[in-house]
Structure 1
Amino acid sequence: MKKLLVTTGGGDCPGLNAVIRGIVKRASREDDWEVWGSYEALNGLMEEPTRLIKLEEKVVSGIHVLGGTIIGTTNKGNPMSLSEKQPDGSIKKISRIPWIVDRMKSLGFSAVINIGGDGSQAISQAMFEAGMPVVGVPKTIDNDLNSTDFTFGFQTAVQTATDSFDRLVTTASSHHRVMIMEVMGRNAGWIALYTAIAGGAEICLIPEIPYDLEKVVERIKSRYNNGRGFVNIVIAEGAYAKEGSITSSVGEEGRHGIRLGGVCFTLSQQLKDAGIEADIRETVLGHTQRGGTPVAFDRVIASVFGVKAMELVLEEKFGQLVVLQNNDYTSVPIKDAISAYHVVNPSDTLVQAAKGLGISFGD
């Protein structure tokens, strides 16, 4: 039997289980393949003893409706740059990729399907260059991976954000408040942009368009008449003012190094300092956008991604990432997908449409 290893890395994301199920169900149609999962990305493979699980059809039955991932995930400890203490007490960065590839081969694995975002796919490319047959599957709620129209998990995050935004609209109108809702996305404003359009926001602030505070204040004031009125704002966690900086704190060891979050409170204070007298309230959605049952759209593309990834393995087309382009499921070299960061273009049709709907970006 040929052995396939499946890993899920980075932040958790609705649809991960649907990909795993798609891989296993497609592999079950072959007589000479068995599928294994490594717990918590590559950690399960690297530990002694290993923490691996054989993924059979009975194990993945019905998991496509579940959030999270049955094999766990982690965004800590990049194996391409691990800290190792030297005899003299100094710390040296080393890559464990060659060791990981040797470990996989010694355990009899013929190929790997790595499910993850840009950081995880950089690891995929490193393993591929080290001689391991690898296929990648794009995963992130941020939709910031290049070469694919959508990553699975994004639509669920947008739906969660939109549902929350709808609830804030009614309370904002009842109390004549300014409601600021912060969504995830890191340095890409896709979740904020889609939510603002779907929810009918008055203001949408994203990293790609640093906002002019005076323009934001002007828009808010135009919505009030003798203290009557309300404003709903969607702000991406990576947004910042033209004369300001990104709101962040020190994060865990890993590829990001910083933890984004709290920009809604930064904006709230800026508005108060600028003379906005209306009652301002802040809501941080945080990890609610990552959890829960994936919407139908994400279940479909995740399931198809899983099937297509397994078929790439069967066709021995390695070093490839499964993608969705122009409503067609195809693949591109992993190195091309991680060569650029997929962000919102200010001249994008969606941005212009949002402006046509009267949404202000503070520019």
Structure 2
Amino acid sequence: MKVACLTGGGDCPGLNAVIRGLVRTIHNAGGETIGLLEGWRGAIEGNFVQLNPMETDEILPMGGTILGSSRTNPYKDESLVEQVVKTFNELELDCLVAIGGDDTLGVASKLYSDHNLPTIGCPKTIDNDLSSTDFTFGFDTCLNTVMDAVDKLRTTAESHRRVIVVEVMGRHAGWITCFSGIACSADAIMVPEQEVDLNAVCELLKKRRENGKKYGIVMVSEGAVLKGEDLTTKDAELDEFGHVKLGGVGSRVAKMIEKKTGIETRDVTLGHLQRGGSPSAYDRVLGTRLGIHAGRLALNKDFGKMVALNGLHIVGVPLAEAVGTMRTLYPEFLDEASEFLR
């Protein structure tokens, strides 16, 4: 069997673990693996590299992806989709494993349903917002990166008696904001799933200052929603999948907090820092397991599936069911966090 894989969308720690697990599994069965370069762009242009166990055995601790990535969307133009199919046939592939988030896997799902192309998906996103899987690799490493950054920011916030607003990723889902907020003992958490009353947050910050706490940490999702406020983005440009580029919410929230409280307030946007670095032990293991099971689905010719974490088990779920539905933050986590936010 000849299997190709690609990594699309935003990079994250653990991608190389998946590649390594997939390559080893296919190789052990006597098959061949290649890597398409820079996501769906490589599938369109036919750019690839050979992948074998010797060359991929040492990539486990590396962040990012050795194959490169892009936000290329073949479905912007039907001729590009035809080119992907042509590349698949010219390379004499038996299966294509797409490693990515909702957009990347959405393309894989359409190729399977529209063109009967044998595809398999592997869920990747630091946002942890893909349905049909309990957790996505990259999320745990991201949380540890945010936690480390906020722990450092806390010392300067306390020294200068400031409030610091930390903007983290999360367009539609507040998993990063809520989990890192709990891990960092934040004074306030602002997520897309729940409107936040900024006046109540400001009153809480003032109350805590009166009670002796001389600094504050506020965690804000890039897609946070505030009651009565229009938090417009700093850049209305769209990517190839039609998503508005977000950013700048933290700065606006910081200015409003300072105006309402009179407390000196600064903001920090962690941005792409959250995507970088060596994967945590958890993400190395999860990524490896997902790569292995993606390879096994390919060998069993069980196409049109996505590998997913279900409890402690890796299972195959229909790609069509796994994409298109955003998995937002469960209300119970916000409820638990609220014990420390009042």
Pair in the same fold by TM > 0.5: yes
The structure 1 residue matched to 2:109, chosen from 106, 125, 144, is 125
8 A Cα contact 2:157 2:216, kept in partner: yes
Counterpart Cα distance in 1 of 2:162 and 2:290 = 43
- Report the Cα distance in structure 1 between the residues aligned to 2:284 and 2:21, rounded to whole angstroms: 10
State yes or no: 1:107 paired with 2:91.
yes
1:68 correspondence with 2:60: no
Give the Å deviation of 1:244: 2.0
For 1:256 and 1:293, the matched residues in 2 are separated by 30
Instruction: Check conservation: 1:45, 1:51, Cα contact below 8 A.
Output: yes
Aligned residue for 2:266, secondary structure, equals strand
Secondary structure of the corresponding residue to residue 250 of structure 1: coil
Answer yes or no: is 1:354 the counterpart of 2:337: yes
8 Å CA contact 2:239–2:245 kept in 1: the answer is no
Task: Provide the residue aligned with 1:257 in structure 2.
Answer: 243
1:105/1:228 CA distance change after superposition, 3 Å: closer
**Counterpart-to-counterpart distance in 1, 2:21 and 2:162:** 46
What is the Cα deviation at residue 157 of structure 1? Answer: 0.5
Give the unaligned 5+ runs of structure 2: none
1:212-227 equivalence runs, <5 A: 212-225=197-210
Shift of 1:246: 3.9
Asked if the contact 1:101/1:131 (under 8 Å) is kept, the reply is: no
Query: Could you say what the CA RMSD is over the residues aligned between the two structures, in angstroms?
Result: 1.6
> Could you list the per-position Cα deviations for residues 168-224 of structure 1 after superposition, in whole angstroms to 9, with x for gaps in the alignment?
222222221101111112111000101011111111111111111211111111111
User: Match for 2:251: what amino acid?
Assistant: F
Residues 304 and 318 of structure 2 are in contact (CA less than 8 Å); yes or no, is this contact kept in structure 1? yes
The equivalences for 1:1-363 within 5 A come to 2-31=1-30, 33-47=31-45, 50-75=46-71, 77-82=72-77, 94=78, 96-129=80-113, 130-225=115-210, 229-248=214-233, 249-274=235-260, 276-345=261-330, 347-348=331-332, 350-356=333-339, 358-359=340-341
Contact 1:247 1:266 in 2 (8 A): no
Partner amino acid, structure 2, of 1:267: V
CA displacement 1:62-100 (0-9 Å, x = unmatched):
10100010010001x311113xxxxxxxxxxx4632331
Letter in 1 for 2:11: D
CA contact (8 A) 1:121 1:136 kept: yes
State the distance in 1 between where 2:231 and 2:3 align. 41
User: 1:138 and 1:27, CA in 2 relative to 1: closer, same or farther beyond 3 A?
Assistant: same
CA distance in 2, matches of 1:95, 1:191: 38
Aligned-partner Cα distance in 1 for 2:213–2:326 = 42
- How much does 1:250 deviate? 2.3
CA drift at 1:247: 3.5
CA offset at residue 228 of structure 1?
6.3
Q: CA deviation at 1:102?
A: 3.1
Compute the displacement of 1:226 (Å): 9.2
Q: Counterpart of 2:75 in 1: which secondary structure?
A: coil
For 1:335 and 1:226, locate their aligned partners in 2 and report how far apart those are by CA, in whole Å.
Answer: 53
Secondary structure of 1:352's counterpart equals helix
Deviation for aligned residue 1:252: 4.8
Secondary structure at the counterpart of residue 63 of structure 1: coil
String of CA shifts for 1:88-137, please: whole Å, max 9, x gaps: xxxxxx46323312330222011100000000110010111111111100
Q: Deviations over 1:242-268 (max 9, x none)?
A: 212343212353114311111111101
Paired residue type of 2:254: S
CA distance in 2, matches of 1:246, 1:100: 39
Counterpart Cα distance in 2 of 1:165 and 1:193: 13
CA–CA separation in structure 1 for the residues paired with 2:119 and 2:91: 16
Look up the SS of the partner of 1:159 in the other structure: helix
Deviates more, 1:217-226 or 1:182-191: 217-226
SS in 1 for 2:209: coil
The residue type equivalent to 1:238 in the other structure is G
- For 1:81, give the aligned amino acid: K
Distance, in Å, in 2 between the alignment partners of 1:340 and 1:99 is: 28
Equivalents in 2 of 1:178, 1:128: separation in Å? 50
- Separation in 2, partners of 1:262, 1:339: 27
- Residue 65 of structure 1 aligns to a residue in which SS? coil
User: Which ranges of 4 or more aligned residues in structure 1 deviate by more than 6 Å?
Assistant: none
Q: Please report how far the alpha carbon of residue 28 of structure 1 lies from its aligned counterpart in structure 2 after TM superposition.
A: 1.4
Aligned length: 340
Q: Is the CA contact (8 Å cut-off) linking 2:9 and 2:101 kept in structure 1?
A: yes
1:273 Cα offset (Å): 3.1
Q: Which runs of 5+ in 1 are unaligned?
A: 83-93
Task: Report deviation, 1:351.
Answer: 1.5
Single out whichever of 100-109 and 320-329 deviates more from structure 2: 100-109
More helix by share: 2
* TM-score of the two chains, using structure 2 as the length reference: 0.96
